[in-house]
Chain A
Amino acid sequence: MRRVPIAERANWRDRAAQAGFDFHTIDGDRYWDESVFYAFSLEQIESDIEAPTEELHAMAIDMLDGIVGSEEQLSRLAIPEPFWDLVAHSWRTRQPHLYGRMDLAYSGRAPAKLLELNYDTPTSLFEAAFFQWQWLDDQQGEGRLPAAADQFNSIYESLVEAFATLAPSLPRPFHFSAVRDSTEDRGTVNYLRDCAIQAGIDCGLLDIEDIGISADGRFTDLEDRVIGTLFKLYPLEDLFREEFGRYLADADTLLLEPPWKSVLSNKGILPLLWEKHEGHPNLLAARFDPGGEDLPRGWVRKPLHSREGANIEMHHEDGRRERTDGPYRGPGILQALHPLVEFGGRFPLVGSWVVGDRACGIGIREDRSAITRDSARFVPHAILDEDVGVLIA
């Protein structure tokens, strides 16, 4: 694993505009950064990332039977009691899932460590599946990367295949939904919808705020049609506690991701995985935060529900402390601190994508701090044979 400078494509902004990628620069700061890329060997991708991702995914899925049947476990995960039946039913009837992203700390020199499962509302999908793919294709065309270069990225093919597989069983109408004012989230659902349409599924877009409720408690779209399937890029735990949440159990709308994902997208899955698989090379020690005590050296505190690196507290072995602000409160977990590898002040985090049950690609975001926040930049990657020199124009 190397961080390699490379000339940017002269026309990358045009390429972004052509593809509808309108959040490559956020608040004046670069988000998409192709002035560098990460180079991996095929062995690193297959043995250190792909295989552990599939194994961790299977381990996580394997936890579900035990958790959804246990009031104690559901309580530890702070899933509200009125939703226990909904979560359990959605798993027992195997309501379909589409995708997830696990965040891995990986240096190229030691086993990847699972930091968390973003299994409910993962973003950075379009960047990974499409724009990074096009970057490699263009750079090969320009001769800056060898024709033999590859990329761990069959995310697009896997998404179209997953949609085609699910198509017959998704009740219609089928809507993709995100919050109205988030350019990034809209970009993600636009891309997912694009893939669904390529799989032959008729589907629409609906702002989360525009979802309606009928007198008999069913969710409706703007034409008063009862929503058959709702893909929601919106946290399940927020749906649960908001005003319309009480209709979820009886509304008869299929949710993507399904309610059982609230178990896996919860940081509480990390201590539960550790309890069952203590010592696994890809897991970090973790336990539920008893609360009240000072964070010991070498540990990180994370709320059960926290996104974009918010409300994280880190106590390094050398005594340094880092803390991020944010809106998240409530119970949390402690996880053994495993610092991200550093390349000249940049800390790359490997987002490993799972579509259906297949590990199918990665996207790398790097921040200037050990905690990856929404200030992180997306940097493309390539698989290069170690003995093939990199041409730099």
Chain B
Amino acid sequence: MKRSRTAALVLMSAAPLLLTACTEETTREGLYTSIDECAGQVGDLAACEEAFDKARREAELSAPRYASFDECVAEYGTNRCTARRDSNGHGYFIPLMTGYLMAQMFRGDQRAGLSGSPAFRDGNGNWKRPAPGSGGVYSNGVARTMLAISAEPNRAPTVKRGGFGSSGSHRSAGS
């Protein structure tokens, strides 16, 4: 089949089921070190388990790979590295997943989306998560790097607005 199995809308849809006066979009996103901690904070054990499973599967694919145990330990600490073997029998080392990120989007009471992705704490105690790599919808165009996780968005007082948008005089800025 050359087409999507389904084609869903969650926000644009005006389906009666979702149309209630108090419908609001909300999002919960958090970093958790265990399913219990997640469930304690979020109150939804099933969602925490589902996100954990997604994260654990993803960790096997996207954790940074090291040729030697020592290289891995230097970055992530003594008790946080383990050996793996690829399909060709080549050995490598990856850090253990030490936490996971769960994001849930709700529309009203209904959950519209859930994601789980792995997080790793390095030897200095900083949390990191893998940047996307190849496979699936992306070929080799996106590099595999580790990115820092920041908890709170930065704020900065705005001094001016309206510095973009002056060319948008026609029907569409798109093509």
> B-contacting residues of A (Cβ < 8 Å)?
17-20, 26, 42, 45, 58, 61, 93-94, 96-97, 101, 118, 120-123, 129-130, 133-134, 136-137, 150-158, 161-162, 164-169, 171-173, 178-182, 184-185, 188, 190-191, 193-194, 197-202, 207-216, 218, 220, 223-226, 228, 233-235, 238-239, 242-245, 247, 265, 307-308, 327, 355-358, 360-361, 374, 383
Contact = CB atoms under 8 A, between A and B. Distances in A.
B85 interface: no
B156 interface: yes
A104 B57 CA distance: 39
A202 B137 contact: no
A234 B153 CA distance: 24
A209 B104 CA distance: 29
Contacts of A133: 3-4, 7
A108 to B, nearest CB: 17
A20 B11 CA distance: 9
A196 B113 CA distance: 9
B139 A357 contact: yes
B137 A356 contact: yes
Contacts of B132: 96, 165-166, 168-169
Given A193-B11, A200-B103, A169 B160 contact: no
B129 A17 contact: no
A202 B103 contact: yes
Given A212-B159, A356-B137, 18 more contacts: A94-B142, A154-B3, A162-B138, A169-B132, A180-B165, A185-B173, A194-B11, A197-B112, A202-B27, A208-B164, A211-B163, A212-B161, A224-B157, A228-B153, A234-B165, A327-B170, A357-B139, A383-B2
Contacts of A208: 164-165, 168, 173
Interface of B: 1-15, 25, 27, 29, 101, 103-105, 112-115, 117, 129-132, 136-139, 141-143, 147, 150, 153-175
A93 B143 contact: yes
A153 B2 contact: yes
A121 B175 contact: yes
Contact of B173 (A129, A178, A224, A356): A178
B121 to A, nearest CB: 15
Nearest to A228: B153
A93 B147 CA distance: 13
Nearest to B116: A200
A181 B167 CA distance: 12
Contact of B175 (A122, A168, A190): A122
A55 B30 CA distance: 40
Contacts of A201: 103, 105, 113, 115
A136 B7 CA distance: 12
Contact of B115 (A19, A26, A167): A167
